[in-house]
Structure 1
Amino acid sequence: MAEKLGLYIHIPFCRSKCDYCDFYSLAGKEARMDDYQKALIAHMKETAPLTRGWQVDTVYFGGGTPSYYGEKRLRELLKFIARRFDLAKDAEITVECNPDSVERKMLLSLRRAGVNRISLGVQSAHDCELHNLHRPHDFRQAQRAVSAARAAKIGNISLDLIYGLPGQDLEGWKDTVEQALSLAPEHLSCYGLKVEPGTPLDDRVIRGEKLPDDDQQADMYLWTVERLAAEGYRQYEISNFARAGYQSRHNLKYWMGRPYIGFGPGAHSDFGGRRYSFQRDLEGYISGVLHGGTVIDESELIPQRERGSEYLMLRLRTTRGIEEWEYRREFFLNFDPIEQKLEEYERQGWAERHDRRWNLTPKGFLVSNQLIGDLLSIQEEATLEKTLPRLKQGRPDKE
């Protein structure tokens, strides 16, 4: 049976740039879309032979705003993928969309081309909050976009929401969630606002704009987990909730350490034991692919020891968590010091155990960076203790 592989295609074009966004995306570059399409196809053509023996079971168009790129170009890319890669018949094919750049005819065309999941960047149900972020849509457009997707018979809709926005309080966030629930999506991603250095929002905060504090954001998050569970949305990752059978299969590849290949400026890959990324430069990517040149930004082989660190860091973002013998078997590392720390977390209400499997609780997810960082330090210490005796045994006598 062929091993499974995910493909990620980065579309770096946007109608406008939102104040909080740190993803590699550009506004006002529509004239470069055709050349970028040529570069993507050339890059995929060059890469496809390396994937023989692998079956592509997820394809994800992210951005930027893929829906702004145009359904004709997206259909051309999907047709090329189906021809050059071993694309599974039941592959999950996702397109990220903004509500202002979709309509029924377009979505119907994409569905016929194989798209079976869309991720809508709704962010808020309040137009004042959307305007404050410089989002290019209002909530009414989001409602129409969901209706258009249903009319196009796309049966898997995910909505992105952000809490902790400027001027937002708990009641306002609750209203956003309730209005999103009224649209009956299959999946919800609820992210805490993160102020990225160098963004317009960062500048606004430096100049004194106030955001909800950590305690307010914690209240919003914990209420969300409880509310969505009551509506049948199971939390399966820190920020992600889904009805049964509608977890994002592609994003699970990242969190579970499964292989994927990315295309486009800023895209990352983990394939063949190597992790690599492409430079965040549209012109450099187009020129490098079409005319020869360096497009790789970083590339490294990942030793098994580092995979053990990734296992802790990524799996503990999920409600599936980590398992003792899985850890011992895959990485030949001692789980005992990890378990001792997890038992401390359990007493604090930050972690819970089911047989031999451990996962963080919603309260633990709130401080997951610190908790996981402490576990990684413990793992490093245990690894050094295991390595030092071998080094001493191999050291020549100094007598």
Structure 2
Amino acid sequence: MRPLGLYLHIPFCKAKCIYCDFYSLPHSEEKMDAYTAALQRDLIRWADQAKGHTVDTIYFGGGTPSYLGADRLCRILETVFAHYRVDKNAEITTEANPDSAREVSALRQLREAGFNRISLGMQSASDDELRLIGRVHTHKETVEAVHAARAAGFDNVSLDLIYGLPEQTMAHWRENLQAAIALEPEHLSCYGLKIEEGTPLDRKKDALRIPDDDEQAEEYLATVELLEKAGYAQYEISNFARPGRESRHNLKYWTMQEYLGFGPGAHSDFGGRRFAYARDLNAYIKGEEHLSESACPAEREREEERVMLALRTARGLDLSALKEDTRDAEAVLEECAHHGLSKKENGRWRLTPQGFLVSNAVIVRVLEALSL
């Protein structure tokens, strides 16, 4: 049986953060029941096509899945169990915002239903930074959420943080990292702030002091060093984990395994076809299948992506596994190694933390050398 990941998009949130470009909708609580039913409907509709697969990861992302409430989340997961072959050791994750993940009873309900991993949107340990970017929680609530998750039986907790926030200094970022480490999560995702066009942050950027690229680079390198000392190995540009606690679902994306996405804005790569639902909640609830994209990538395109994604991970790239003549690509990576940007370990080329900072440029050169 082939492995399969399922992604369930929960587009609801209490408030929209000023940097957010994901499909998420505040003030739409009245549609939660209808949307839950729509997800169940589509899960059932796709089940026959997934009969040859075993689901080994399930990921509820958003938006804010915890804002949907434990009852609805459990109903959706029950539908998956009822209609799909789910591996007994499947990784089942829900994202959560700390303010809506502090009740032990609700978290225990999720844990007993089968959820075994929780990813909390900490973002910062500074209440001033949180307020500035429009987050609705406090650091105290993050601490309470982690403790509640442990009390409910979750032994796999991930925290998300953002560096390069408005007005942030290196000292502030180090304090955020230390506060996250003190909570002893199994996994950390650390993302550099990106100003997406059309977001409130894009409109306010000129009135704020936002760390520039050089400052973000310094914060990134400090992150890798500090987390390594704390026992978190970097396994992808932005992701760090204790041994064996890497996000198995996200690894599917980086290793080009199959996954099915459900909900407006959700993407899929299944049966050789890539497609995404339009960002339209009402149409999705009505059962109108509007796709924002649909394509069957050629093998050459897949190969290009395989190279690009491999060089984003610590596992790196095995040039000998490629069909192309790799001598020029080997020369490029050897040159990068001379400058401290890459290294070869166990027959695989991987980028160093310094190399990850300029990964786009390195990847372009490697792809050109491979004539991809």
Q: Spell out the pairing of 1:124-139 with structure 2 (5 A cutoff).
A: 124-139=124-139
2:242 & 2:63 partners in 1: Cα distance?
Answer: 27
Distance apart, 1:199 and its partner CA: 0.4
Distance apart, 1:377 and its partner CA: 3.0
Query: What is the DSSP-based 3-state SS (H/G/I as helix, E as strand, rest coil) of the residue aligned with 2:207?
Result: coil
Q: Spell out the pairing of 1:25-104 with structure 2 (5 A cutoff).
A: 25-102=24-101, 103-104=103-104
Q: After superposition, give the CA deviation of every residue in 1:338-397 in whole Å (9 maximum; x if it has no partner).
A: 111111211111111114210110001111122212322333xx35xxxxxxxxxxxxxx
Distance apart, 1:315 and its partner CA: 1.1
* Equivalent of residue 331 in structure 2, options 332, 340, 357: 340
Query: What is the DSSP-based 3-state SS (H/G/I as helix, E as strand, rest coil) of the residue aligned with 1:365?
Result: helix
State the match for 2:321 in structure 1. Answer: 326
Question: 2:7 touches 2:260 (CA, 8 Å); kept in 1?
Answer: yes
Question: 2:277 touches 2:289 (CA, 8 Å); kept in 1?
Answer: no
Give 1:338's aligned amino acid: A
Matched, 1:349 2:340: yes
1:267 & 1:338 partners in 2: Cα distance?
Answer: 34
* Equivalent of residue 314 in structure 1, options 295, 301, 309: 309
State the match for 1:215 in structure 2. Answer: 214
**Unpaired segments ≥5 residues, structure 2:** none
State the match for 2:21 in structure 1. Answer: 22
1:373 & 1:265 partners in 2: Cα distance?
Answer: 32
Question: 2:167 touches 2:208 (CA, 8 Å); kept in 1?
Answer: no
Give 1:281's aligned amino acid: D
1:186 & 1:355 partners in 2: Cα distance?
Answer: 26
Give 2:62's aligned amino acid: G
State the match for 2:276 in structure 1. Answer: 277
| Structure 1 moving runs of 4+ over 3 Å | none
Question: 2:189 touches 2:239 (CA, 8 Å); kept in 1?
Answer: yes
In the superposition, the TM-score normalised over structure 2's length comes to 0.98
Question: 2:58 touches 2:249 (CA, 8 Å); kept in 1?
Answer: yes
2:64 & 2:368 partners in 1: Cα distance?
Answer: 38
Give 1:277's aligned amino acid: A
State the match for 1:151 in structure 2. Answer: 151
State the match for 2:183 in structure 1. Answer: 183
Aligned-pair Cα RMSD in Å = 1.0
Q: Which has the larger radius of gyration?
A: 1
Query: What is the DSSP-based 3-state SS (H/G/I as helix, E as strand, rest coil) of the residue aligned with 1:37?
Result: helix
Question: 2:6 touches 2:259 (CA, 8 Å); kept in 1?
Answer: yes
Query: What is the DSSP-based 3-state SS (H/G/I as helix, E as strand, rest coil) of the residue aligned with 2:324?
Result: coil
2:137 & 2:192 partners in 1: Cα distance?
Answer: 20
State the match for 1:360 in structure 2. Answer: 351
Distance apart, 1:267 and its partner CA: 0.4
Distance apart, 1:208 and its partner CA: 3.4
1:179 & 1:347 partners in 2: Cα distance?
Answer: 36
1:19 & 1:337 partners in 2: Cα distance?
Answer: 44
Distance apart, 1:201 and its partner CA: 0.4
Question: Greater CA deviation, 344-353 or 109-118?
Answer: 344-353
Give 1:365's aligned amino acid: F
Query: What is the DSSP-based 3-state SS (H/G/I as helix, E as strand, rest coil) of the residue aligned with 2:224?
Result: helix
Distance apart, 1:215 and its partner CA: 1.4
Distance apart, 1:179 and its partner CA: 0.7
Question: Greater CA deviation, 208-217 or 266-275?
Answer: 208-217
1:9 & 1:225 partners in 2: Cα distance?
Answer: 30
Distance apart, 1:60 and its partner CA: 0.1
Q: After superposition, give the CA deviation of every residue in 1:263-282 in whole Å (9 maximum; x if it has no partner).
A: 00010001111111110111
Query: What is the DSSP-based 3-state SS (H/G/I as helix, E as strand, rest coil) of the residue aligned with 1:109?
Result: helix
Q: Spell out the pairing of 1:244-255 with structure 2 (5 A cutoff).
A: 244-255=243-254
1:72 & 1:217 partners in 2: Cα distance?
Answer: 40
2:234 & 2:31 partners in 1: Cα distance?
Answer: 39
Matched, 1:378 2:353: no
Give 1:325's aligned amino acid: S
Give 1:316's aligned amino acid: L
2:360 & 2:280 partners in 1: Cα distance?
Answer: 30
Distance apart, 1:325 and its partner CA: 2.1
1:324 & 1:175 partners in 2: Cα distance?
Answer: 40
2:183 & 2:165 partners in 1: Cα distance?
Answer: 22
State the match for 1:3 in structure 2. Answer: 2
Q: After superposition, give the CA deviation of every residue in 1:80-121 in whole Å (9 maximum; x if it has no partner).
A: 100100001110000000000012111000000000000000
Count of residue correspondences: 371
Question: Greater CA deviation, 84-93 or 343-352?
Answer: 343-352
Give 1:352's aligned amino acid: K
Matched, 1:172 2:163: no
Give 2:104's aligned amino acid: R
Q: After superposition, give the CA deviation of every residue in 1:57-96 in whole Å (9 maximum; x if it has no partner).
A: 0000000000000110110011110010000111000000
State the match for 1:118 in structure 2. Answer: 118
Give 1:97's aligned amino acid: A
2:43 & 2:72 partners in 1: Cα distance?
Answer: 14
1:52 & 1:324 partners in 2: Cα distance?
Answer: 34
**Unpaired segments ≥5 residues, structure 1:** 384-399
Question: 2:116 touches 2:155 (CA, 8 Å); kept in 1?
Answer: yes
In the superposition, the TM-score normalised over structure 1's length comes to 0.91
1:341 & 1:77 partners in 2: Cα distance?
Answer: 48
Q: Spell out the pairing of 1:382-393 with structure 2 (5 A cutoff).
A: 382=371
Give 2:138's aligned amino acid: D
* Equivalent of residue 300 in structure 1, options 273, 288, 295: 295
Give 1:52's aligned amino acid: K
